[in-house]
Structure 1
């Protein structure tokens, strides 16, 4: 069988699976679960894999599920990964299968990712005779809080893995298209927690107090100089303070204030330098306002950098399956993804799968939006692409 015929057969088989994948995805969408709470989702995944003939390991890295397919001949192990968790967002999509759980929604499409990887597992189980090696399927929990991949790695899911591949749906890219990028694709994710201590007192007598709210406000503005005056304008960095908490009433200067934020970079070198900058700026600004600042800086995930050889393999496969006209170069983004932790351990590639309306059609809402929706035609295509990536890498 030629490669073209083999890929076409995978696409055709994926299309036949579409009703099954849509049904599974919609069930997950109806019943979303937050990070580290994905017990029902994991049980459904494990049951479906067993129905496909797989032996399944559950409870890996929280509620992660792992299965492996051994090919007809010995060879390397390729890992394919999907995430399963939802977000604390109230759904406003208007879908007939909208979340039945108040304040919880699959607003990032992890329900689609899970269905896609199940589809790939089903397709590959019927093509194992083509494999010189093994395929390991990783269904990961807690991507949204940047914990799941780290826990999975700590529990050995990458042992013996030669390469790893994953995808993320993109509602601003039409379904039927794929976007790839060499080098850095997504940003690092760090968290900052700043605790300020002043001296509380009456709001009418500020000279008898030390106001941590004023100091906190100055720190919010001052942290932006870490970007505008200390880092090259050619190195993208974002510093965002997402929470500032202080006080309980209108006429009291509080004793304490706290700030929580995130820092995103596109360079491992810049990421490594940010802790010193933030600690210095927050500390010195607080001192200037007679407050004390304690900074906790947490490096959560690194910059997501795919391996060139693996990107080239994905591009060749994508173009062979859906044509070169349907693959574009992905724009970089400072959004983070803990798939980057896998890529620190083994080479691999992460790419975007179009899940949005066709150009000129209805407006597409982005990831994490309460009106987020996907074109479910991306499900069988994503499954076929992941299966094709594994088969062609393992000598199919």
Structure 2
């Protein structure tokens, strides 16, 4: 294939996706109205499977829980390129007042996974209508349970990556204007670990503290003490975050409780830093608990590694963006401690993950961010994402370096 032919095909993909915008938007809105939490995405998966079957495809359902996988074969044997979208929503009460706002109390697509699913479905339509000669196959992965960092592992365990040579994915970014993209070499997103702490003291009357062992005081000291793991044990050139997000103890104002329970998240930006966090935090917790005469139990759960893009795959994505959207619409992404279980795929095979702008054209940096109850997607980004996903895969199978 000539480079000019590929350029024409990528341009036509974008135009075709824009022509299909109404369908992509309608599907996204149908998912937005009926959000499903992680591990509960049965109806979402059924809707996706139905749309895929209408395109003449036969998806495998129940991959990694409620996930789906489907292959699109092109010509003779060649590489297998995977494209992934996530499908789950969050336990957040929506406050957007949109006409298609969530109908489910306390549940909302506040991270835009409804948009990701609609984009990959839009890409599927472009791929089945592809007119250029290709070698190999494209595997579409619709993943459940990304928000709890469980879906990618489950998909992998069910063979979603079997035979796959490369994988690509994107995430919308409301603080970046639609029509823009952001890429980054190497580490893009932080690792994600979970820590659970249970402290046992000796309950008693709040007015007679000397006859009790107060787990609240011990837990408070632990919350503060954990920050020294970052400030005094890790180089300032190695980013890390330790956040205690829940603290539960007691029910009455005049009672010293017997137990306290805390949970938190630990983020790092290098594998070596991540590997040392369990020992550091566990040591600090037990030492402080002992000083306050409490017994501590610690459960440290490694969830996802640092998300690190592979150079060759990144260069390919950037080349496709440059051809489809022009170089001025691609910026360098800032590193973030937010996590993504797409990193588990990249730990096993080459690939690339990038940001797709989903914010307003003006003052996007002040838009409501991911996981906010007023978060929304500017739907002009949906056909752009669909075309980019399809274009990345097609150009990888076109037997031509761009």
TM-score tier, shorter chain, comes to over 0.9
- Residues 307 and 342 in structure 2, CA contact (< 8 A), matched pair in contact too: yes
Cα deviation 1:94-124 (Å, max 9, x = unaligned): 2110000010000000000000000111101
SS of the counterpart of 2:20? helix
- 2:14 aligned to 1, 11, 14, which one? 11
The structure 1 residue matched to 2:121, chosen from 118, 121, 128, is 118
1:330 aligns with 2:333: yes
Taking the TM superposition and a 5 Å limit, the aligned residue runs for 1:173-212 are 173-212=176-215
* CA displacement, residues 150-173 of structure 1 (integer Å, 9 cap, x when unaligned): 000000010000000000000000
Deviates more, 1:248-257 or 1:126-135: 126-135
> Does 2:137 match 1:134?
yes
Which runs of 5 or more residues in structure 1 are unaligned? none
Q: Which residue, 230, 234, 246 being the options, matches 1:231? A: 234
Q: How does 1:1-396 map to 2 (within 5 A)?
A: 2-127=5-130, 129-360=132-363, 363-395=366-398
CA separation of 1:345 and 1:55: change in aligned 2, threshold 3 A: same
CA distance in 2, matches of 1:157, 1:21: 25
Give the deviation of 1:3 after TM superposition: 2.2
Shift of 1:179: 0.3
Contact 2:174/2:364, CA 8 A, preserved across alignment = no
Partner Cα separation in structure 1 for residue 269 and residue 164 of structure 2: 26
Q: State the Cα deviation string for residues 209-234 of structure 1 (Å, max 9, x = none).
A: 11111000000000000000000001
Report the TM-score when normalising by structure 2: 0.97
Moved over 2 A (4+): 359-363
Q: Distance in 2 between matches of 1:121 and 1:151?
A: 23
Structure-2 change in CA distance of 1:211 and 1:30 (3 Å): same
C-alpha deviation, 1:361, in angstroms: 6.8
CA deviation map 1:41-100 (0-9, x unaligned):
000000000001101110111100111100022100000000000000000012110000
Q: Is the 8 A contact 2:175 2:364 kept in 1?
A: no
Tell me the number of residue pairs that the alignment of Structure 1 and Structure 2 aligns: 396
d(CA) in 2 for partners of 1:256, 1:284? 17
Please give the per-residue CA displacement for 1:310-361, whole angstroms capped at 9, x wherever unaligned.
Answer: 0000000100100000000000000000000111110100000000001347
Q: Secondary structure at the match of 1:317?
A: helix
**Distance verdict in 2 for CA 1:188–1:361, change over 3 Å:** closer
